[in-house]
Structure 1
Amino acid sequence: MLNEALAGLAASAGTGLVSAMVTDGWQQARTRVARLLARGDAAEEERHEARLELARREVMEASGKQAEEVRRLQEWAWRTRFADLLEDEPEAQAPLRDLVAFLAEQAGPAAGIVQVNAQATDHAQQAVQGQGIQNNTFTLPDGGV
């Protein structure tokens, strides 16, 4: 059984991999993961690439509530594969850490849904920025600044 740090590494790799499935860097991520899991066996590398493509297709085709469940299941499956790798070959820690760093780069900055609810009365004014650059000019009801 893996210690907490290695279990966390496997979990990060699984989550990062599934996140990479919807990025432009997917091809490179797929190749790196397949190579790592194949441990130098060309036939195994091909098998892992096919498995990765199938997983990606499932993630890409799922929608609504199903999408969240598919993603969660894929993260768990790949987390387990990475944990198995670490149990079988403890020296795989460094390459797996490199993979996690690569996957984090592919993911880019975290983004999520931003919802803003604002209400102003009388002379009150509001300016809300979710991300990026925002320029605001406020004027008084009579046209003054």
Structure 2
Amino acid sequence: MLSEALLALAGAAGSALVTAMTTDAWEGAKTRCAKLLGRGSVEAEKVQAGRLEQARQELLTAGDPELAGREQQAVWTALVRDLLEEQPGSEGQARKLVEFVAAQVSAELAIGAVRVNAQARDQAQQAVQGHGVQNVTFSPPQKRSGKRHG
């Protein structure tokens, strides 16, 4: 039976993988996790990399991403937990995976301000988003009256 610390590590690894699936950290996380779960076998690493990529595609195309994320997290947490039970020496690699994702995701979020310069003329309309969620509603152009004030 695993200690609470190792159970928490397995949970953190499962969470980190799901987080990485939707970020630029994915390729590095996938490689590290495949190596970890491959247990030293190049062929097993390839199998795990394929499973990880399939899991990512399922998450990205899921109708309910939150539910899919929870399901994927449970699957990968269980796999890491099993690994930690069977190979106690893999704890360091699991920690490095979690640390890698945490560092990559925090760096991705802290990239800095986004500056956008946009111009529109005549009846053109623009919507520009630098970060976050944006809801935009465009209205039809206003009709101009033929009268000139002057």
**TM-score > 0.5, shorter chain as reference:** yes
1:44-65 deviations in Å (ceiling 9; x for gaps): 01100000000000111124xx
Ranges of 4+ aligned residues in structure 1 off by more than 4 Å: none
Aligned residue identity for 1:81: L
Which one of 96, 99, 110 corresponds to residue 97 of structure 2? 99
Distance across 1 between alignment mates of 2:89 and 2:42: 20
Aligned residue identity for 2:86: D
Which one of 69, 72, 75 corresponds to residue 74 of structure 1? 72
How far off its partner does 1:28 sit?
1.2
Distance across 1 between alignment mates of 2:35 and 2:108: 27
How far off its partner does 1:109 sit?
6.8
Q: Residue 108 in 1 paired to residue 106 in 2? A: yes
Question: Can you give the 5+ residue segments of structure 2 that lack an aligned partner in the other structure?
Answer: 110-150
1:65-97 deviations in Å (ceiling 9; x for gaps): x11110000000000000001000001111111
Distance across 2 between alignment mates of 1:15 and 1:85: 16
Q: What TM-score does the superposition give when structure 2 sets the normalisation length? A: 0.69
Distance across 2 between alignment mates of 1:26 and 1:110: 12
Distance across 2 between alignment mates of 1:25 and 1:16: 10
Aligned residue identity for 1:37: L
How far off its partner does 1:110 sit?
9.9
How far off its partner does 1:105 sit?
1.1
% of aligned pairs identical? 43
Task: Determine if contact 2:24/2:108 at 8 Å carries over to the other structure.
Answer: no
Distance across 1 between alignment mates of 2:84 and 2:66: 27
Q: What TM-score does the superposition give when structure 1 sets the normalisation length? A: 0.71
Correspondence list, 1:1-145, <5 A = 1-63=1-63, 66-108=64-106
Distance across 1 between alignment mates of 2:41 and 2:58: 26
Question: Can you give the 5+ residue segments of structure 1 that lack an aligned partner in the other structure?
Answer: 112-145
Distance across 1 between alignment mates of 2:23 and 2:4: 29
What's 2:133 paired with? none
Distance across 2 between alignment mates of 1:40 and 1:110: 30
